Structure 1
């Protein structure tokens, strides 16, 4: 199961004991924020896109209140932002929909962190299923996830500025 692989990944960093398992679903930003008692922006959502090569994915970890800026995504990755179809999510990320996270991903997935994360001291990414999270700083997310690097591919919607 996905939470077990994510927990095993976190164990390599001594963080497996920090996993928070919620009593209700945390499959969306709003549900996760309610379960954890934090503002939605502090939920570190992992967005999953098709990569440039067949059978690869690009995972972008971003603050919960932002949206993908398609032009910035194309400038950064050289391709149009296409979210993974439900039937491809688990195969290309290692996790089922609602639990996609930047931990314990297959080799075909590359993890990138969006600059929007820097607005917060700590955030809450999922840990492999739709009822889990862990509180980490942006730097800790980078280290634990083995992220390729930082990108700027999102924007805060006008109605939230």
Structure 2
């Protein structure tokens, strides 16, 4: 199904087309705000969901994005070491200002501004993964390699042990 009138989803669908990515966004009948909801709606394992989590760098006040497997928790100490400064939780206003999207619908790329990104190593174990497409009911199918390419991110062991 093509993108709906939802502005975030329409914006992201346009970004996909601009990048030459033929995968359509899909609007699901159930919310995809959490990895569990998305997995149930898509019919895949939670691990095959690529969740986009925005953190705030403590010193520079810049965003950092982690695209994590839905079954993983982010190791904040490891993320801080990778980022080179302390990490804080980002509030909803900060996330929307930095990405242009609301929490629960943040796509893995095509944000309001460039964001330093880390892609969870565990996502590379799947042939296909699902990520948010700009709205709480919208997803698209992709690969970890495609996320890495289009986000300009770095592959990282980011899972909490």
Question: Does 2:156 align with 1:155?
Answer: no
**Structure 2: 5+ residue runs without aligned partners?**
1-6
Q: Choose 79-88 or 132-141, whichever is displaced more.
A: 79-88
Once the two structures are TM-superposed, the CA of residue 68 in structure 1 deviates from its matched residue by: 1.1
SS at match of 2:89: coil
Question: What are the superposed Cα offsets for residues 47-79 of structure 1, whole Å, 9 maximum, x if unpaired?
Answer: 10013523x211110110111112211211122
Cα deviation digits, residues 19-38 of structure 1 (max 9, x gap): 11111110001110111011
Contact kept in structure 2, 1:8 and 1:16, CA below 8 Å: no
**1:74–1:81 Cα contact (<8 Å) kept:** yes
Paired position in structure 1 for 2:60: 53
Separation in 1, partners of 2:55, 2:76: 12
1:78 lines up with 2:61 in the alignment: no
Residue 16 of structure 1 and its aligned partner are, at CA, apart by: 5.3
Report deviation, 1:17: 4.9
Q: Which residue, 11, 14, 25 being the options, matches 1:8?
A: 14
The offset of 1:126, in angstroms, is 0.4
Which structure 2 residues correspond to residues 136-155 of structure 1 after superposition, within 5 A? 136-145=142-151, 147-155=152-160
Structure 1 vs Structure 2 CA RMSD? 1.7
- For residue 135 of structure 2, the aligned residue among 124, 129, 133 is 129
Contact map agreement 1:44 1:125 (CA 8 A) in 2: yes
Task: Give the match for residue 159 of structure 1.
Answer: none
CA distance in 2, matches of 1:99, 1:65: 17
- Provide the TM-score with structure 2 as the length reference: 0.87
Cα distance in 2 for partners of 1:84, 1:16 equals 32
Among 99, 108, 128, the residue aligned to 1:102? 108
Tell me how many residue pairs correspond in the alignment: 154
